Amino acid sequence: MLLKFLKLTQFRCYAEVRIDVPDLGLRIVGDNATGKTSLLEAVGLLATTRSFRNAQDRDLVRWGSGEEYAVAPFTRVEATIDGGEGQHHLGIAIELAKDVESVASKRFELDGRITSAHRMVGHFTTVTFTPEDVQLVIGAPADRRRSLDILISQIDRVYLQRLTRYSLVLRQRNSLLKSFARDRVLPTAAPAVTQISFWDEQLVAEGGYLVALRARMLDQLDRAMEQRSSEIAGEVSFGLRYASRTSVHLPSLTGETSEHDAVTRASQALHDDLERHRADEFRRGMTLTGPHRDDVEFEIEGRSLARFGSRGQQRMGVLALKLAEADVVAIMTGDGPVFLLDDVLSELDNSHRDLLLDAVRTHASQL
């Protein structure tokens, strides 16, 4: 996978910039607050349609954008990429409303045609590594879920669609449960059971798919991390553990199990869990089980890396994960991802810096 050309218009601190990117990649050097990370952010935006800095879309628009031409504030990012599917031109345009606080439109373009985020994601794969990524080990479960979801979505476009639908269904179901809790509706009331069953069916259909795909991805990442551990830390082994909040037997979703059977088993487990928690959900007014409550735990020698690992070991654990992500992307897509490294080489000692660069060369990846 190669990024051939990048153009930013009214993006962050850039009025306009055009870059022809060499096949070996770019090394960007400059003082603080000069836009180095913003360039990487723009590239990552084209891969996932979202900022890896968790910024809101309105924050991507350059301050004062549109004033010169008396138009609404806007930004546009576009690039030409060359990968296993051939060459594509990607573009994202964001326009703000008059109040400058909300987004009026966000448009996605693939080869000159308007498309959806779901159809755009997957054409361009990246692995991003920033100094803040060590927080994945000790941070909130939502950050680890988001990181995993971004990885799977770049490989499986259907996953992103199912994830979006799951979020919508979850929001509707929680709204209904909240009204039941407020009005003290009994979980045995026939009208309430009919209403909640409608959303249960959809939640199970989407949620079962997410649980199964997460389990299968984490199984591959865990094995890849174990292989990378010997290179990074000698005899110390890093790994990942899927802490699913469903009752599904996770080993039954991986290995020789087909994806279809894995989804069926995960869906059945989620259905049973919803039935078991129904009374408590009616009382508390929220969905208590499902992939939105999952976690991914980093491990060192089978124990919690967050609890028992040093700061240096936590950094090495994240490095092992990023290398494993690149390994899995290359295996599943047949094409190495583009690495986006934001000032992380300064965080590593010489040996680990060389290891990371060697991994990029192994995949013939662009840096």
Nearest to 296 by CA among 242, 231, 238: 242
Rg (CA), the chain: 22
Nearest to 333 by CA among 96, 7, 37, 47: 47
Region label for 339, one of left (φ > 0), alpha (ψ between -120 and 50) or beta (otherwise): beta
* Burial class (CB within 10 angstroms; exposed 0-12, middle 13-18, buried 19+) of 232: buried
**Single-letter amino acid code for the residue at 33:** A
Q: What is the DSSP letter of 49?
A: S
pLDDT of residue 143: 94
- Is residue 70 within 8 Å of residue 56, measured between CB atoms? no
Stretches in the chain below the pLDDT threshold 70: 345, 347, 359-360, 362-365, 367
Q: How far apart (Å, rounded) are the C-alpha atoms in residues 67 and 63?
A: 10
Q: State whether residue 340 is helix, strand or coil.
A: strand
HEC states along 218-276? HHHHHHHHHHHHHHHHCCCCEEEEEECCCCCCHHHHCCCCCHHHHHHHHHHHHHHHHHH
This prediction has a pTM of 0.90
Q: How far apart (Å, rounded) are the C-alpha atoms in residues 132 and 347?
A: 10
Q: In the chain, where do the E strands start and end?
A: 2-11, 14-20, 74-83, 86-96, 103-110, 113-115, 126-129, 238-243, 295-300, 303-304, 338-341
What residue ranges define each of the domains in the chain, with the CATH number in brackets?
A: 2-124 (3.40.50.300), 133-334 (1.20.1050.90)
Q: Is the Cα torsion angle 156, 158, 159, 161 positive or negative in sign?
A: positive
pLDDT of residue 363: 63
Q: How far apart (Å, rounded) are the C-alpha atoms in residues 316 and 348?
A: 9
Residues pairing with 120 in the sheet: none
Chain CA centroid to CA 247, Å: 24
**β-bridge pairing 303-304 and 338-341:** unpaired
